[in-house]
């Protein structure tokens, strides 16, 4: 194996709080805020770069305009679908009262704003509904399960996240394959019945850095979010190989991807959806759960082999709450758990098909957010040397296992 550096567009914002404030202080945005307004700020469960700083800057800007803001979890069923769990998720991202300068108020209760043409009830967080206005902060990015002009972003947070488990369950029952059409219709109804002041959209580059911040007014949102999604797709990274025999992922977690490890990076989503076909991977091995995921192993079913270490960290209530709400139960299927990292990798290699001995194409990454430095096996070196955006930055060496069969952490 050898370490390889992948080069992508690294342009990013040096002052994210300043960018957030500048967006909110634009005349047409600031005009939506009236002195004395109680403003609910929705924050989600996704891992978003600088989310704590962005939330704090939003709180400060709203206070500067005379509002009284508070933060609420807009994350559907995540955090085990409980007040304590959702509050803890936000705290893990640095979104607590002391950190952001505003109270964090959580409830799983909702109110029904109305119904779609087919009778589907549309839920909204009860505390947010009681506020004078709502601001939503979210990363805009490709979704892990479906493709469309609108995927993950402010609109999905409004329709799914803000509806808590009741709303998320109701909408997921329609099937995520129709979300590109369903989510804008739900958002339109919500914006007609509730005072959505604006959304703060964040876009990241391939290095998990914030590259763009934009405040979007509700009447512009359905037209603008697809444009922001296109920018997000153009800035994201990838594993720069078309064919991989074994992909080793050191850790997965909800803060890394809604699917634990991002199908946009691994090329595997098990849904038969076009747009997740690159790279082609025979076997995926996942070695551990991240600390921040708190045992939520949603998406584990996309792997082929895991370790006993990961298996023993699974929190079933939070994982099951998440996958049951999504209606895709295979997200909680448990791959074969092996005792050690060495045994897990060996099993994946042993069960490859149509691969000659000594020619196994292995890629190792820390997680699907960390793909600047990857490790690849020797048979892949010719492609590295022929590529304009990859370079070798280490020496060929065997896997480094300790006495317990665990891999030395990837640097």
Any idea where the domains of the chain sit in the sequence?
16-235, 238-392
Give this prediction's pTM. 0.86
Q: Cβ(285)–Cβ(345) under 8 Å?
A: yes
Q: Which residues of 256-279 are buried (b: 16+ CB within 10 A; e: fewer)?
A: bbbbbbbbbbbbbbbbebeebeeb
Classify residue 370 by its DSSP letter.
B
- Mean pLDDT over 105-127 rounds to 97
CATH architecture of 16-235: 3-Layer(aba) Sandwich (3.40)
Q: At what angle do helices 16-24 and 51-64 cross, to 10 degrees?
A: 40
Q: Is the pLDDT score of 273 beyond 80?
A: no
- Mean pLDDT over 361-376 rounds to 96
Task: Output the pLDDT for position 409.
Answer: 85
Local confidence band at 272 (pLDDT 50, 70, 90 cut-offs): low
**Residues contacting 167, CB < 8 A, separation 6+:** 76, 110, 122, 123, 124, 159, 160
- Mean pLDDT over 120-144 rounds to 96
Local confidence band at 258 (pLDDT 50, 70, 90 cut-offs): confident
Percent of the chain with pLDDT over 90: 90
7-52 tens-digit pLDDT: 999 999 999 999 999 999 999 999 999 999 999 999 998 779 999 9
Task: Output the pLDDT for position 114.
Answer: 97
């Amino acid at each position: 194996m050898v370490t390889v550096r992948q080069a992508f567009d690294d342009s990013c914002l040096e002052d994210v709080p300043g960018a957030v404030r500048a967006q909110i202080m634009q005349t047409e945005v600031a005009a939506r805020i009236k002195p004395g307004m109680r403003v609910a700020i929705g924050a989600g469960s996704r891992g978003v770069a600088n989310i704590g700083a962005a939330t704090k800057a939003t709180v400060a800007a709203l206070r500067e305009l005379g509002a009284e803001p508070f933060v609420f979890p807009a994350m559907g069923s995540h955090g085990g679908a409980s007040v304590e769990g959702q509050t803890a998720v936000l705290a893990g991202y640095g979104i607590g009262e002391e950190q952001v300068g505003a109270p964090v108020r959580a409830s799983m209760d909702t109110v029904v704003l109305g119904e779609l043409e087919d009778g589907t009830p549309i839920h909204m967080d009860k505390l947010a509904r009681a506020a004078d206005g709502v601001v939503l902060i979210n990363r805009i990015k490709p979704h892990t399960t479906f493709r469309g002009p609108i995927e993950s972003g402010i609109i999905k947070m409004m329709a799914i996240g803000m509806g808590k488990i009741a709303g998320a369950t109701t909408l997921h029952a329609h099937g995520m394959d129709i979300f590109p059409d369903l989510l804008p219709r739900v958002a339109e109804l919500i914006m007609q019945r509730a005072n959505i002041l604006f959304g703060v959209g964040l876009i990241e580059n391939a290095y998990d850095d914030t590259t763009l911040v934009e405040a979007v007014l509700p009447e512009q949102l359905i037209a603008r979010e697809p444009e922001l999604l296109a920018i997000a797709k153009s800035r994201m990274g990838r594993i720069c190989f078309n064919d991989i025999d074994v992909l080793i992922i050191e850790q997965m977690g909800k803060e890394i991807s809604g699917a634990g490890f991002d199908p946009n990076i691994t090329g595997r989503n098990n849904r038969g959806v076009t747009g997740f076909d690159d790279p082609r991977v025979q076997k995926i091995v996942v070695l551990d759960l991240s600390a921040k995921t708190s045992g939520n192993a949603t998406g584990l079913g996309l792997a082929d082999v895991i370790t006993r270490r990961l298996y023993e960290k699974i929190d079933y209530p939070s994982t099951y709450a998440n996958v049951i709400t999504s209606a895709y139960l295979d997200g909680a299927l448990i791959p074969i758990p092996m005792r050690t990292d060495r045994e897990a990798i060996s099993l994946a290699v042993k069960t490859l098909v149509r691969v000659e001995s000594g020619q196994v194409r292995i890629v190792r990454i820390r997680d699907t957010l960390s793909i600047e430095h990857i490790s690849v096996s020797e048979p892949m070196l010719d492609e590295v040397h022929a590529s304009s955006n990859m370079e070798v930055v280490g020496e060929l060496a065997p896997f480094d296992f300790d006495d317990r069969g665990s891999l030395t952490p990837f640097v």
